Structure formats: structure tokens, C-alpha cells
Structure 1
Amino acid sequence: MRGIQISQYVKGPEELKVTELPDPTPKPDQYLIEVHAAATNFFDILQIQGKYQSQPPFPWVAGVEFSGVVLATPSTTSKGAPPKFPVGSRVFGAGQGAYATRACAAEAELLPVPAGWSFADAAGLFITAPTSYGALVSRAGVRAGDWVLVHAAAGGVGLAAVQVAKAFGATVVATAGTPRKLEVARRFGADHVVDYRDPTWPEQVRKLTPGGRGVDIVYDPVGLVDKSTKCVAWNGRILVVGFAAGSIEKVAMNKVLLKNISLVGIHWGAWAKFQRDGIPAVWDGINKLVEQGKFKGTVFVDKEFVGLESVPDALVALGGRETWGKVVVKIPQEGASKL
């Protein structure tokens, strides 16, 4: 196979190289997947630099999110049941080694590609969709009539959050940092858009809400919790999703007290580890939205990335905040159907 193997940490994506490698050998409980598309994530950049919280032993193949076709099924399955995904099944999922033409993954890390979805659309679904659905529905209890503020709304989890909130009947206020990203957020369903480079954005958001009462839910993957307390309503919920701004902020807790604000953390990776029994309900909810046409793929289309050689450029674009949605690399396979 061909892939991007890491034998030592690199300074940045520009140093990544595609090489010929032996095909991976699946463990007894793993599927062998022919990779047709791979999604990029910020943690991929951290991982190749040796800065992520989870670092595989050398050598390892970079990338985690992918979609493709099952080439081989596990030799052992739970309780002797037949494999859930027969050879030839179209699947998406996560497993170390996505930046390659072949990858391995356990059954729990795979799901069927939704009907009518391309490999590219499905490749970026496994992490963003459950993060946003789990946050808004399971953790914050979003419902019709709520006002929801989504920060970095044109990002992968941001666009997923916009769609989920709208599907449940909420009014969405989206923030982003460029006119293009604001346009994208509106195209995916945001009712109002605000540029968070303007220091008056909390006041702008509050004035949009009925009577200036503030928003009911804040979805924050950036690190804007403290400023968001200025435009959240009484009994508001602030979802702490991540710190894309680069630093872990400090929050003035007196405002949390005075407005009866709930600060709610959501980390899907930890959820999948410690609350596995809650995973099916999240994916059932997502699949219903997909079937109803209320949730669609968020692939960045302003520039196309094709072939493993384009992975470095895709990661550079992602890291430079030049993109929106999910940056996906299509991986053509010889003799395979068109993506």
C-alpha cells in the first residue's frame, strides 16, 4: 500500500512524505478497509509533531478519520456473531492510519455510509456529528424555541451544531471570523451571523434575542466562555467543546453564579470511552436527521484535495484557518468506482 508513515516527529505537515509500505495486518477483531477518502483534524497536526495527548509508538501511519470499502472481515467477532459489515460494504469510521490506501478498524469504530452520501461526505462524519449532537441534545437538551449561539460556526463541529440546532427548532446565531465563513454558516441554516473579530459581538448577539434576554445555549469550540456569559440568558447553558483559540481560558465565576449559568463539558472521545451505552442513541438521532434531509455533509469545496500527496497541503490549509467545514482528501483507488 501507499501511506504517510511517521518514524520521527516533524515540525509541520510540509515535511510529510508518501511512501510504499506493507499492507496493514488486521488484528483478529478488525476489518481491513480500502480507504477512499480521509478527513483532516487539528489533532492530526499535533500528533505528527508529538504534541497530542495520545501518541502511538513509532512507526505509525498518520490520520484517523476515513471512509472506504471493506476488503476483509474480522476472524473473530463478539459472541461468534457474523460480521456486521460484509466484504464490499461502504463504511466510514476512525482508526489510526487513515492517510493510506489501506487501514484497519474494529467494528465499534465503523458505521455504514448513509444512503446517497459520497465517500468524501462520510469521511468527516465520525467525530463532528456525534460531538455536536451529543452536546446540544444529550447535554444541553436543545428544544424548539431555544436561541443557540454557535461559535466558529463554519468549522466542522460548528456546521454540525448549526444543523442539529435548526433540526430541533432552535434559532441559531452563528459567529465566524471572515465574510466567507459567515456566508457558509448562513448557507447551512444559521438565522443570524456575527463577526467575532468585532469586540462588541456579545452585545450584538444579545440584542438579536427577544427583549435582549440573551441566548439559551452557547456552543463553544473556541474558548469564548467568559465573553459569552455577557450574552447568555438566565438559566443558560454554555457547552465547553474545545479551545481552538489556543489557550485554556479562565472564567469569572461570579457571572456564572448571578445568571444561574450551567457550564457543561463535552468530549466525544471520553464519552465513547466512559459512556459507551449512550453511543447508539446519539447515532440513531443523527441517522434520523440524515434520513429527513436535515443533516448533510460539510466538505470544504473551495479547493479540492486529491491523492495522498495532497494531505500536507490539506493540513496546512486547515492549520492556517483558511478553510471551513471538513477538509477531506479523496484517495483514488485503482480500479475502484468514481468517488
Structure 2
Amino acid sequence: MRAMRIHEPGARLRLDDVPAPEPGPGQVRIRVAACGVNFADTLMTQGKYQLRPEPPFAPGGEVCGVVEALGPGVERPALGARVAAACGWGGFAEAVLAPAAACVEVPDAIPSDEAAAFLVAYGTSHMALDWKAGLRAGETLLVLGAAGGVGLTAVEVGKLMGARVIACASGPEKLALARSRGADHLIDSSAEDIREATLALGGADVVYDPVGGEQFRAAMRACRPDGRLLPIGFASGEVPQIPANILLVKNLTVIGFWWGAYPKLRPERVARSARQLIAWRLEGRLRPHVSDRLPLEQANEALDLLRTRRAMGKVVLIP
């Protein structure tokens, strides 16, 4: 099979011809129809992510495809089933191994590129907002990076949960995309003071932050008392240091959330979330936005779209 692999941290990926992997106990092999590209993949190729596989390896942690081989002890999903799966890495390839428990069957009504862009981004937003932050109807949700792969899904999921959504992104094109997904208020991070603009709207009960850096600090100071902050990622390149005195005075809670831990730690919760999200998608209540579809051999270009923050919505590779 073909795979786009990293051979040394920080180098460009190379197209390799390698044997298809054989599934072990509890695993399945999936013939990849599409692979979602995430900011985590850019970090993994640099050796800066929580998961650090030994090179050479293919990045790519979420795929959609057809199950073509079962490991020992696996009964479901069945051979030939069309599934979306969290695989950790390996998805930038024509076939990949995934835990059987992390596979979710995908209805034919959902195209493969959408399904490959669905599990991690929507799963992150749904589980973070619902399970971790306990977002309630009528509360105000501030979403930073609101036109990015996960930020845009937080806008949609927050609206479905009944929140008033403030979307923060850079420039009119990105803000228009956030508005199209239900944002009630818009803040241009390239031209406005995030703290002042949020406070002018009454402050935030929950902050969803895939950006980090100065934007996190501004949002923290725009929280209402008893606010909850979700650091989802650090696309700015800066991990913010959190002053405990502000947490104390405003009774704030910072809730770390890494979706990638839960396919192993709580696979039943991931599956439950995925079923809810797929139901919403089939009802037309979610509209995944895939901005770029690239062939497998253009994986480096796909990663560059995320590194430079030019992507809006999701980037997907098609083997």
C-alpha cells in the first residue's frame, strides 16, 4: 500500500510503498476512503504531540473506510462494514489499523469525506461542551478560532445545545462562515479587543479555546463568575500560563480536555457521543464544512494549510 510517512521529526512526509499492516487482537484493518487532517498531525510530525510513534510512521488519526480484515477476537464491526474510526496515527495511507471498539458504523447518507472529518472535531466539541463543561441552554459560549476544524463544530454544537454563541475569528470570510453555522455574535480577532468585545456582550459562561496564547488570557478575563474554560489546543503556538488568583477571585474552572485519550479510556462514551452526532447529521442539524480535499500525495500541502491557519473547517486527504 501507499503511505505518506515522516522519517525524521520536522522533515517533510515522503510517499512510501509499504506492506499493509496485519490487525492484532481487538483491531481491524480499514481500507481508507478518506482521512481527516488535524492540527495534532502537524505537532506529531515534529515530535511535539502527546503521542510520539517511532519514525517512520504515517500521521492521520481519523478515517472513514471499509473494514477489510479482523484481528483475533473481533466480531464487530463486520467485514465490509463502512466505518469511521479513531486510529491515533497511520491514516495518511491506503489502509490503517484501528481498535474495533473505536469504530462507528457510518450510514450511506454521509459521504466519506464528511465522515472522516466528523469523529474527532465534532466529538471534541460535543464531549467537551456537554460532558466536561456542562453547557446549559441560555448560557453564553465564546468560541475562539471559530472557523477552524474544531472551532466551527463548537459553534454548531453550542447552538444545538441552546447556548448564545459568540464566535471569534480573524477576518470577514471566517466570521461569515461562523455566522452561517449559527453564531449569534461575531468578534474579529484581527481588529477587535476580545476581552472588551466579549464583556460588551455580557461576558462568557463557557470558553472553548483551540488557539491558546493571548486569546486565552483575554477570554479568561471576559468570563462571568463561575465561568468554565476549555483549553482544547494551542494553534497560536503558545501554551498560556494560568494565573490562579484570577481563578480564585472569579470562581473560574479550567477544564483540560483531550478527546484522543477517550477511545481507550472511555470507548462507550465516545460511541454514545458519535451516535448522537450522526443522528443530528442525518436530521440535517449539523453541516460539516470540508474546505479542502487533497490527494494522499499532497499530505504536506494539507498540513501546511493547518500550520499557516489558512484552512476553514476541515481538510481531508483522499487516497
The TM-score with structure 2 as length reference comes to: 0.91
Which of 79, 87, 91 lines up with 1:98 in the alignment? Answer: 91
Contact 2:146-2:155 within 8 A present in 1 as well: yes
Which of 26, 29, 36 lines up with 1:39 in the alignment? Answer: 36
Contact 1:226-1:252 within 8 A present in 2 as well: no
The 5-angstrom pairing of residues 288-299 of structure 1 reads 288-299=279-290
* Residue type of the alignment partner of 2:186: V
Alpha-carbon distance in structure 1 between the residues aligned to 2:94 and 2:271 = 29
Alpha-carbon distance in structure 2 between the residues aligned to 1:279 and 1:62 = 21
The 5-angstrom pairing of residues 22-61 of structure 1 reads 22-61=19-58
Contact 1:217-1:232 within 8 A present in 2 as well: yes
* 1:62 alignment partner in structure 2: 59
Paired residue total:
316
Which of 209, 227, 239 lines up with 1:220 in the alignment? Answer: 209
Alpha-carbon distance in structure 2 between the residues aligned to 1:48 and 1:264 = 27
Change (3 A) 1:148 1:177: same
1:260-314: per-residue Cα shift (whole Å, max 9, x none)? 222222121234444445334433432332233222323114xx41x21111111
Alpha-carbon distance in structure 2 between the residues aligned to 1:242 and 1:203 = 23
* 1:337 alignment partner in structure 2: none
* 1:116 alignment partner in structure 2: 109
Cα deviation for residue 179 of structure 1 reads 1.9
Alpha-carbon distance in structure 1 between the residues aligned to 2:47 and 2:193 = 38
* Residue type of the alignment partner of 1:165: G
Contact 2:8-2:56 within 8 A present in 1 as well: no
1:223-246: per-residue Cα shift (whole Å, max 9, x none)? 133211332222222222222211
Contact 1:63-1:99 within 8 A present in 2 as well: yes
The TM-score with structure 1 as length reference comes to: 0.86
* 1:334 alignment partner in structure 2: none
Change (3 A) 1:65 1:231: same
The 5-angstrom pairing of residues 279-290 of structure 1 reads 279-290=270-281
Cα deviation for residue 112 of structure 1 reads 1.3
SS at match of 2:66: strand
Identity %: 37
Contact 1:225-1:251 within 8 A present in 2 as well: no
Cα deviation for residue 132 of structure 1 reads 0.8
* Residue type of the alignment partner of 1:316: D
Q: Which moved more, 1:126-135 or 1:23-32?
A: 23-32
Which of 309, 312, 315 lines up with 1:327 in the alignment? Answer: 315
1:65-105: per-residue Cα shift (whole Å, max 9, x none)? 2111122233323xxxxx22222221111223111111121
Change (3 A) 1:38 1:114: same
* 2:138 alignment partner in structure 1: 145
Contact 1:68-1:119 within 8 A present in 2 as well: yes
* 1:2 alignment partner in structure 2: 2
Alpha-carbon distance in structure 2 between the residues aligned to 1:46 and 1:108 = 26
* 2:81 alignment partner in structure 1: 89
1:176-204: per-residue Cα shift (whole Å, max 9, x none)? 11222111111111111111123522211
Contact 2:59-2:91 within 8 A present in 1 as well: yes
Q: Name structure 1 gaps, 5 residues minimum.
A: 78-82, 332-339
Whichever of the two has the greater Rg, that structure is 1
Contact 1:203-1:230 within 8 A present in 2 as well: no
Cα deviation for residue 37 of structure 1 reads 0.7
* 1:311 alignment partner in structure 2: 299
Alpha-carbon distance in structure 2 between the residues aligned to 1:252 and 1:48 = 31
Q: Name structure 2 gaps, 5 residues minimum.
A: none
Change (3 A) 1:225 1:51: closer
